[in-house]
Structure 1
Amino acid sequence: MNNLVSVPKNGSLANSNLNQNRPMLSNWLEDIFNRDLPSVFTSNFNTGMTLPKVNIKETADAFMVEMAVPGLEKSDFHVAIDNQVLSIATDAKAEKEYKDEHYTRREFGYSSFKRTFTLPESVNDEHINASYTDGILNVLLPKKEEAKQKPARSINIT
């Protein structure tokens, strides 16, 4: 009688005498829940749109946030700052009606997102500005004067 016990990668114990050709219900359920979620669960159900990608750059004078969000209007965005947290959100609604001699079809869509970023203390929140051009939202976060990098200089030895 063979009583060997194998330990699979997931750490659970399995009896090696079980019929290996018949999948166990627990293995099947484990496979379902341990898989990566399909992109449909991580995207907006109406449009397939995922959260927009963001580039953040730092210069000596400011931080710059670039967000790729094509197909929207400036009026679709809500950019706000509250307690050192920058939030960028949008609600976009689209409605189209098609008429033909035999049918009428109406399609509508709704997409929204909200991204938030905790700002460093060095940001001068009184002078933040945003622009939207060619599908790119740009948010300029200027630094406070005392936080700006000073140019290198030589010190004379006396």
Structure 2
Amino acid sequence: MKPALRNSLLTTFSNLFDDEFFSNAVFRDPGFPAVNVREEADQFQLEVIAPGLKKEDFKLALNDRMLTISAENTTESDEKNVSYRRKEYSYQSFQRTFDLPENIEADSVQATYVDGVLKIGLKKKALQPKPAPKLITIE
């Protein structure tokens, strides 16, 4: 049993410097929603898991190749009774920024928010054909 524990600890320590280890949910800020990024042949699809928000709560900004997704929501529950026993406020906000690849068409970004999931479509630019090699004559 000790060798298994030792191997487990060594694996964990060696994974300490892997990007995958730090992207694990253990190190993610719990205030940030999860984001799934899927690459398709003609686009990237981002899915931001953010239940409880409305589409009006979100702001999307594209500056150069930086896509910033942010949301802010304030909820107030106030019982209008003179002898109220409870008054609650709720505030939720986050901001995530993604460095996009150069082949994204900035004018064709589309976003929808349905059932707690913000979907962002980032269309890829059509690939430009490489010019045919040019033969140069030597004089």
Normalising by structure 2, report the TM-score: 0.67
Q: 5+ residue gaps in structure 1? A: 1-41, 44-48, 148-158
Q: Find the partner of 1:89 among 48, 64, 70.
A: 70
**1:4-19 map, 5 Å:** none
SS in 1 for 2:33: coil
> Are 2:15 and 1:65 aligned?
no
SS in 2 for 1:75: helix
- The answer as to whether partners of 1:123 and 1:141 remain within 8 angstroms in 2 is yes
RMSD of aligned residue pairs (Cα, Å): 1.8
Q: Distance in 1 between matches of 2:82 and 2:59?
A: 41
Q: 5+ residue gaps in structure 2? A: 1-27, 129-139
> Are 2:110 and 1:129 aligned?
yes
- The answer as to whether partners of 1:68 and 1:135 remain within 8 angstroms in 2 is yes
Q: Distance in 2 between matches of 1:124 and 1:118?
A: 14
Q: Which amino acid aligns with 1:115?
A: R
Question: For residues 125-155 of structure 1, what are the alpha-carbon distances to aligned partners after superposition, in whole Å with 9 as ceiling and x for unaligned?
Answer: 11001000000000000000117xxxxxxxx
User: What is the aligned length?
Assistant: 101
Using the TM superposition, give the Cα deviation of residue 64 of structure 1 relative to its aligned residue in structure 2, in angstroms: 0.3
Work out the percentage of aligned pairs sharing the same amino acid: 39
